Amino acid sequence: MAQRIFVIDDAATVRLYHRQILEGAGFEVHEAINGIEALEKVLLASTPFDLYLVDVNMPKQDGYGFLRELRQLDIRQAPAIMISTEAQAIDRVKAWEAGANFYLVKPIKPDALLGYVHLLLGAGGTA
């Protein structure tokens, strides 16, 4: 069964970009446009997700907020990658405290994204 990746980003373009790359590699991709919608989907999901890609900057609830709440849920926890832009350096400590496991800087090249995603899913390397 395909591994399930949850892409949380307010920009539709970014979601589509990630979706195309990840689906192209055979992953099942789910989307949410902010932290609140994402939490709902996590709670409603019949199977827990295997990996989260979380944008830092979102309306309503940002990436930090989402991760903090996600990590308090009693579900099978999975790795989360935070995604920031180069202009806005991520606050590493804040990200780690919120519950991120890694972060990447937008725009992420497809091979790099797939490389890290594969590794974080324990699916071996890509390159």
Partner 1 sequence: MKMTPLLSQFLLESRDFLDEIGTKLIALESEPDSNDLMNELFRLVHTLKGNSGLFDVPAMTRVLHAGEDLMDAVRNARLSYSQELADQLLATIDFVAVLLSDIEQTGEISSERTEPAEVLVRNLRQLIPAPSPDELDADADEPSFDPTTIPLPELSTVPETARMEAFRRSVMGSELFLIAYRPEAECFFKGEDPFYQVRQLPGLVWGHTQAREPWPPLLELDCYRCNLDFHLLAASTRSEVDEHFRYTPEQAHIQALSAFALVIPQGQSNGGPVYADFVDEALKLLHAGDVQGLADASRVMLELSAPGLWLSSALRWLQLIIEVAPEERTLLERLITSLTSSSTAELTDWAAQTHVPTPTDTAVTESEPATRLSDIDQQRLTEILAVQSEILALSESTDGLPGRLQACAATIAACLANLGEPAAELDEALAAALELNSAQPLAEWLAALREGMAPVATTAPAPTSAAATPPATAPAPAFERRSSPAMEPEAKFGRRAEDNVSGKVLKVDQTKIDRLMNLIGEMIVAKNALPYLAKRAEDEFGTRELGREIKTQYAVINRIAEEMQDSIMQVRMMPVSFVFQRFPRLVRDISRKLGKQVELVLEGEDTEADKNVIEALADPLIHIVRNSLDHGLEVPEVRQASGKPPTGQLRIRASQESDRVMIEISDDGGGINPTIIKRKAYEKGVLDEAQLERITDQEAVQLVFAARFSTVDEITDLSGRGVGMDVVRTAIDKVGGSIDLHSQVGEGTTIRLSLPLSMAVTHVMVFTSDGQNFAVPMDRVVETIRMPVTDIRTIKRSKTLSRRGKIIPLMAINELLAIPAEPQLNSAGEFTALVVRIDHQPVALMVDEFRGVMDVILKPLPGELARLKCYAGAALLGDGSVLIVLNPKELIEWA
- Measure the CA–CA gap between 24 and 19, rounded to whole angstroms: 8
Among 24-32, 34-42, 115-123, which window interacts with partner 1 (CB under 8 A)?
115-123
Task: CB nearer to partner 1: give 36 or 119.
Answer: 119
Residue 65 as a binder of partner 1 (CB under 8 A): the answer is no
Residue 82 as a binder of partner 1 (CB under 8 A): the answer is no
Strand order in the sheet with 51-55: 28-32, 4-8, 51-55, 80-85, 102-106
| CA-based nearest residue to 2, from 124, 123, 106 | 123
- Measure the CA–CA gap between 124 and 57, rounded to whole angstroms: 30
- Measure the CA–CA gap between 89 and 126, rounded to whole angstroms: 27
Among 25-33, 34-42, 80-88, which window interacts with partner 1 (CB under 8 A)?
80-88
Q: According to CB under 8 A, which residues from 93 to 112 bind partner 1?
A: 93, 96-97, 99, 101-102, 106-107
Residue 122 as a binder of partner 1 (CB under 8 A): the answer is yes
In the list 5, 53, 78, 113, the residue contacting partner 1 (rule: CB under 8 A) is 78
